[in-house]
């Protein structure tokens, strides 16, 4: 028993010594000497950017808090002359324009913040390649009618979340503009009630969060406030000849540093905001465009090709791909590296090759529209 008592006292003494040395190492003079920051501590780095509010379609910090991590909304826009002017479209973060039957074009306006979508008119029917573009963005797709041969089957096959006002007229989401009904044919009067979109998605139990891997910017955006001129070719104006009867022109505004859109030579205007459509970025994506097997509807390939990126008064040649229907469009510079894109609203024209005219102080790049675009 005595030996055990001695052993306990020895252990206690050793522990006291250890604790004493520990306190000395962590306090007193040594503690004062270590109050000066070390080299690692004085190295300053910028804090990690809060990307939750970054709009994935523009690269700008514009999302409302309710839209953090939420899917975009894509709305089909009637672009025939008889339906002009539209409204709500100047607020779109991303605008696609593609040829449809008869040489006319149709547009798809994409909004990155589903809580800020305005009323949008005139809304028109689906053509099969538009939902494929929306699918790659993980967007909820909204149209008013759909081509039964290719459009509706594509919507069903993709399993995309969509609302078709002609097939299922939800009064909370769709309406007819009473003022337009007095001046326009009824097919040009359908509109989407933008402010009701969050409520409709909730009531219909539509997924609002991005799916896995989709909550990322669609382009390799430069940092906000650091836009630069692209390429070596001056671009004061670019004209996309979708067909002999339909073309879109963009003219550079040197003060606002955006490209102003014209529709067949006339100002393309939003009748509610009063704004002329304008974009920081104009993308021309060339691809094979041919009449479909029925020689009425158009077939537009979305696999990839060449094209142009136009921004800040300059133009550069690019290549693009869309590896799968569920993938976003990827754009690359002449070296094959991912293209750096200025933050802001973008227009994407998908068009047949040799149908674009770029005008600047440099020699013009000119080509007549091909018969494929007819």
Region 210-219: what's the mean pLDDT? Answer: 95
Tell me: pLDDT of 71 over 50.
Answer: yes
Helices in the chain by DSSP H: which ranges? 2-26, 28-33, 39-42, 129-136, 151-158, 178-181, 197-203
Q: What pLDDT, in 10s, does the model give residues 325-370?
A: 999 999 999 999 999 999 999 999 999 999 999 998 544 444 444 4
Reported confidence tier of residue 295, pLDDT bands at 50, 70, 90:
low
- Fold exhibited by the domain 53-373: YerB-like fold (3.50.90)
Separation of alpha carbons 20 and 107, rounded Å: 77
Task: Report the C-alpha gap between 174 and 167 in whole angstroms.
Answer: 11
Number of Cα atoms under 13 Å in the Cβ half of residue 152: 10
pLDDT classification of 209: cutoffs 50, 70, 90:
very high
State percent of the chain over pLDDT 70: 82
Measured between alpha carbons, how far is 134 from 117 in angstroms, rounded to an integer?
Answer: 16
26-30, 68-72, 102-106, 307-311: least confidently modelled range = 26-30
The residue with tokens 């007549």 is: 368
Terminal-residue alpha carbon distance, the chain: 107
The predicted model gives 29-44 an average pLDDT of 31
Per-residue pLDDT tens over the stretch 119-161: 999 999 999 999 999 999 999 999 999 999 999 999 999 999 9
Question: pLDDT tens digit string along 73-97?
Answer: 999 999 999 999 999 999 999 999 9
pLDDT for 361 equals 52
Q: Is the pLDDT of residue 45 over 80?
A: no
Cβ 75 vs Cβ 118: under 8 Å: no
Decide: residue 357, CB within 10 A, 0-12 exposed, 13-18 middle, 19+ buried: middle
Is the pLDDT at 39 greater than 70? The verdict is: no
Name the least confident of 209-223, 232-246, 282-296. 282-296
From the centroid of its chain, how far is CA 64?
16
- Record the pTM: 0.84
Say which residue the tokens 């973008």 belong to: 346
Question: Which band of pLDDT confidence, cut at 50, 70 and 90, is reported for residue 267?
Answer: very high
What Å distances lie between residue 158 and 114, 204, 205, CA to CA? Answer: 21, 19, 18
Res 14 pLDDT > 60: no
151-205 pLDDT, tens digit each: 999 999 999 999 999 999 999 999 999 999 999 999 999 999 999 999 999 999 9
pLDDT of residue 50: 58
Q: Looking at residue 373, what DSSP letter applies?
A: G
Beta partners for 311?
281, 314
Domain boundaries, the chain: 53-373
Highest mean pLDDT among 46-50, 225-229, 272-276: 272-276
């Amino acid at each position: 028993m005595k030996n055990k008592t001695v052993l306990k006292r020895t252990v206690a003494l050793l522990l006291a010594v250890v604790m004493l040395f520990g306190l000395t190492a962590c306090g007193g003079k040594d503690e004062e000497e270590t109050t000066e920051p070390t080299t690692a501590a004085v190295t300053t780095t910028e804090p990690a950017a809060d990307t939750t509010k970054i709009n994935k379609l523009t690269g700008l910090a514009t999302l409302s808090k309710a839209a953090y991590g939420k899917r975009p909304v894509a709305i089909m826009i009637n672009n025939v002359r008889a339906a002009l002017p539209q409204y709500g479209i100047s607020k779109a973060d991303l605008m696609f324009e593609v040829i449809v039957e008869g040489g006319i074009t149709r547009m798809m306006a994409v909004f990155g913040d589903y809580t800020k979508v305005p009323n949008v008119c005139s809304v028109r029917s689906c053509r099969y390649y538009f939902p494929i573009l929306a699918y790659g963005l993980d967007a909820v797709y909204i149209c008013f009618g759909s081509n039964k041969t290719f459009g509706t089957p594509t919507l069903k096959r993709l399993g995309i979340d969509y609302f078709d006002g002609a097939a299922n007229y939800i009064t909370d989401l769709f309406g007819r503009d009473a003022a337009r009904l007095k001046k326009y044919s009824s097919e040009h009067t359908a509109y989407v009630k933008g402010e009701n979109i969050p409520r409709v998605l909730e009531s219909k139990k539509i997924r609002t969060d991005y799916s896995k891997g989709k909550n990322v910017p669609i382009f390799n955006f430069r940092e906000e406030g650091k836009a630069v001129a692209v390429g070596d070719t001056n671009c004061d104006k670019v004209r996309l000849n979708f067909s002999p009867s339909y073309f879109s022109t963009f003219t550079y505004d040197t003060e606002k540093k955006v490209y102003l859109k014209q529709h067949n030579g006339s100002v393309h205007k939003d009748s509610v905001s009063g704004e002329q459509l304008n974009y920081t970025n104009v993308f021309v994506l060339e691809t094979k465009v041919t009449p479909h097997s029925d020689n009425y509807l158009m077939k537009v390939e979305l696999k990839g090709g060449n094209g142009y990126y136009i921004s800040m008064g300059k133009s550069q040649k690019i290549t693009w791909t869309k590896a799968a229907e569920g993938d976003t469009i990827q754009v690359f510079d002449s070296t094959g590296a991912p293209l750096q894109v200025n933050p802001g609203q973008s227009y994407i024209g998908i068009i047949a090759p040799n149908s674009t005219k770029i005008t600047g102080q440099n020699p013009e790049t000119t080509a007549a529209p091909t018969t494929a675009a007819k």
